[in-house]
Structure 1
Amino acid sequence: MTIGVSNIVNQKLKGRIFNIQRFSLNDGPGIRTTVFFKGCPLRCLWCSNPESQQGAPQLFHLSNLCTRCYRCISVCPTGSTQVGSGGEVVIDREKCKVCGKCVEACPNEARVVMGKEMSLEEVFDTIKKDSLFFRNSGGGVTFSGGEPTQQIVYLRSLLKLCGAYGFHIALETCGYVAWEVLKSILGDVDLILYDLKHIDPIKHKQLTGVENQIILSNLQQIVKLGQDVVVRIPFIPGCNDSHENIEAVGMYLREIGQKRVDLIPYHRLGEGKYRSLGLHYKLEGVAINTEENVQRAVMALKNFGLDVEVI
C-alpha cells in the first residue's frame, strides 16, 4: 500500500538533520536507519557527536584531506578563511557564515557543512529504502541526535509517517524535555532509548551542563506508563564510572521498576570531530575503560536485578 506524505502531514515542514545512517545495528533491534537531529540542550564532556549540539549548520574542516590549494580562501565572501602562520588553512569561526562556497570549491572534500534543512519527504524517502531490511531483521527507524524533541513538530510528523507504514520506531532521548511534550509522542513510539549520564544532580550538571531532576522524573513516569524502555548509560572513566554512582543508578532503576540497561563503554571516535569544528576536546588523554572495570559495573547493575548488555 502506498501512502502519500501529503495525506498524513504538512509536507512543507522542514527539520535540521545532520546525518542519516543506514544499516545501524546498535540503535534498537534489527537493522535500522538512524536519523540524527541537530540541536541538543546538553553539553556532555564526552559527546561523540559535537556537530549535533548547535541547532545551526556548522563547517567541518578536515585538515588531513586539505592539500593547501587555497581555493577556499579565494571564494570566501567574508574573509573568514585565511592562511595560517605555517601555511595551513585556518577559519575565523565568528566571521564564518557557513555559506558553503568553500565546500563547493574544495576539490578534496576537506570541507563539509554539518546540518541541513530537509523536508519530511526527503527524510522519509531515505527511510523507506530499507523497508525490506526492516521486515527481514525485525528492525526499523531510530530518531536520535542531538535531541529529537527539540524539533517536536517535525519529529511528530515523522513519527506519524513511519507509523502509517508500520515501521518499528525507536526514539533516543536525553530526557531533558518538558513532560507534556514527551508524553504527547509516546503513543507513536515503540521503544525509548533513554540516556542516563549520572545520578547525582550536581555532578550531572558538571558533566553535561544541566541538572538531572527533569530527566529522572521523566524516566520514572515513562516506566510507570509501561513504555518499552532501554536505559543507556555511557560509561566514562573519571566521570560516572565510580562504584558509588553505578550502585546508585542500579538502586534507582530497581526502585522505579526499570529492567533493561545498555552500558556503553567510553570511546574516542568523536575526538577528531572537535578539531574539525575548531573546538577543544575536554577529555583529551582520558584512557578507555578496562574490561575489568566494565565487567565490575555490569555485575553491580545485575545485582539489582537488571538485564544488562554492553554495546
Structure 2
Amino acid sequence: MFDENTQGTVFNIQKFSLHDGPGIRTIVFLKGCYLSCKWCSNPESQKFTPSVMFEKKQCVGCGNCVRSCPQAAISMEGSNRVDHDKCVGCGTCASVCPTGALSMTGKTMTVKEVLDDVCKDAVHYRRSSGGLTLSGGEPLAQPDFVEALLRSAKARGLHTAMETTGIASPAVLERVIPLLDVVLLDIKTFYSKQHEKYTGLANDVVLKNALTISKLAKNLSIRVPLIPEFNADEQSIKAIATFASYLDNVTRLHILPYHNFGQSKYSLLEQDYYYEGFKTPPQNDIEKFKGIVESLGIECVIGG
C-alpha cells in the first residue's frame, strides 16, 4: 500500500523534457544528496532542507532580512549575506524581501500534489511513450516519499524512470528499484580516491550497489558525466565501461560531456565554482571515448 499524503522536499518540476528516459517526460527534482560534486549543475539540491538564494544585484540594503531571521543567519557585513550553516530554510527572510533578492528553492509537497501536476500532461506521455523521471539531488535519499510516489505513479499508469548515484541501503534498493521501468545510474569514475577528491565520498558503495541494482532493474542505463581533470581520459572511460560490461540488464552507456549551465547558481548560493573556466572536452576526444565503450560491446550514446 502507499499513502498519497506522504511528503517530500521538491525543488523543481520540469515539463516536456526529451531526455532522462524515453519519450516526453516530466522530471521531478528532489532535494538532498550525499555527494558534493565539484561540477554539480544543481548545487541547490545538495542540502536536504529548502535553501535561500541571494541575488546581490537585486538587494537595496533595507535590512528586513537581518531583522526577521530567527536563526541570526543573515548579516549585512562580510562577504556572504547568508550563513548557510545556520540557515534552516524557514523562508522568513524571503517573505520580507521587497525586491526578491532573497528567494527559496525547495518546498514540501505530497505525493498527490506532485502526481496531480505530473498527470496534467498524461496525453503527451501516452503519445510518446514518455512518463515520469525522478532526479535530484539523490532521490533515494528520500526513500519513503520516492516509494510512495512510484507506487502511486504505477497505479496511475505512468512509465517511471529515475536518475541516481545508487547510494542507499540494500533494503531501500529492494523497495524502490523494482518499481522503475528505467534506471539511469551514474558511475562517475572507477577509482575510489579520485571519486572522493571530487565528490566528497569514496565510491565503494556506488560500485557495490551497482551490482545489486543491475540485478533488480528491468532496464539499466549507465551515465558517465565526462569531466575535465576528473575522468575525461581513456583509462578512466575504459575502466568504467569494463565494469559496466559485467553488470546485468545494461542497455546502453551515456557519455554526458561537461557543461557549465549551473555555474550561475553558485553565485546565488554564495559559493565558489571550482570548474570556472573549464571547457567541454573536444569532440574528437568524445568520439574516441565512445569508441572505447563500443569496443567492449556496449551501445554508447553521447548526451542524455
Please say whether Structure 1 and Structure 2 have the same fold, judged by a TM-score greater than 0.5.
yes
1:129 Cα deviation from its structure 2 partner: 0.9
- Any gaps of 5 or more consecutive residues in structure 1? 1-7
| 2:10 is aligned with 1:17 | yes
Distance in 1 (alpha carbons) for counterparts of 2:247 and 2:138: 24
Matched residue type, 1:287:
K
Residues 85-137 of structure 1 show CA distances to partners (whole Å, capped at 9, x for unaligned) of 7xx98334344443323322334433221111111221111111111111111
Pairwise mapping of residues 1-311 of structure 1 onto structure 2 (< 5 A)? Answer: 9-68=2-61, 71-73=64-66, 75-77=68-70, 80-84=73-77, 90-225=81-216, 227-257=218-248, 258-311=250-303
Which amino acid counterpart does residue 42 of structure 1 have in structure 2?
L
CA contact (8 A) 1:70 1:89 kept: no
Q: CA deviation at 1:264?
A: 0.5
1:142 Cα deviation from its structure 2 partner: 0.5
How far is the alpha carbon of 1:74 from its aligned partner? Answer: 5.6
Contact 1:259–1:305 (Cα < 8 Å) also in 2: no
Distance 1:225 1:157, change over 3 A: closer
1:3: which partner in 2?
Answer: none
TM-score, L = length of structure 2: 0.91
Identity fraction in percent = 35
Distance 1:100 1:231 in 2: 37
Contact 1:61 1:276 survives alignment (8 Å): yes
TM value normalised by structure 1:
0.89
For 1:17 and 1:242, the matched residues in 2 are separated by 35
Whole-Å separation in 2 of the counterparts to 1:40 and 1:80: 22
Q: Give secondary structure in 2 for the equivalent of 1:19.
A: strand
- In structure 2, list runs of 5 or more residues that go unmatched: none
Q: Secondary structure at the match of 1:184?
A: helix
Cα distance change on mapping 1:227 and 1:65 into 2, 3 Å: same
Partners of 1:24 and 1:195 in 2: CA distance: 19
Q: 1:95 to 1:178 in 2, by over 3 A?
A: closer
Distance change in 2, residues 1:89/1:279 (3 Å)? closer
Shift of 1:64: 3.9
Query: Any idea what SS the aligned residue of 1:203 has?
Result: helix
Check whether the contact 2:183–2:217 (CA below 8 A) recurs between aligned residues: no
SS in 2 for 1:22: strand
1:285 CA drift (Å): 2.3
Residue 151 of structure 1: CA displacement?
1.1
Over 3 Å counting, the alpha-carbon distance change for 1:83 and 1:180 in structure 2 is: closer
Cα distance in 1 for partners of 2:165, 2:226 equals 15
**Structure 1 residue 238 displacement after superposition:** 0.7
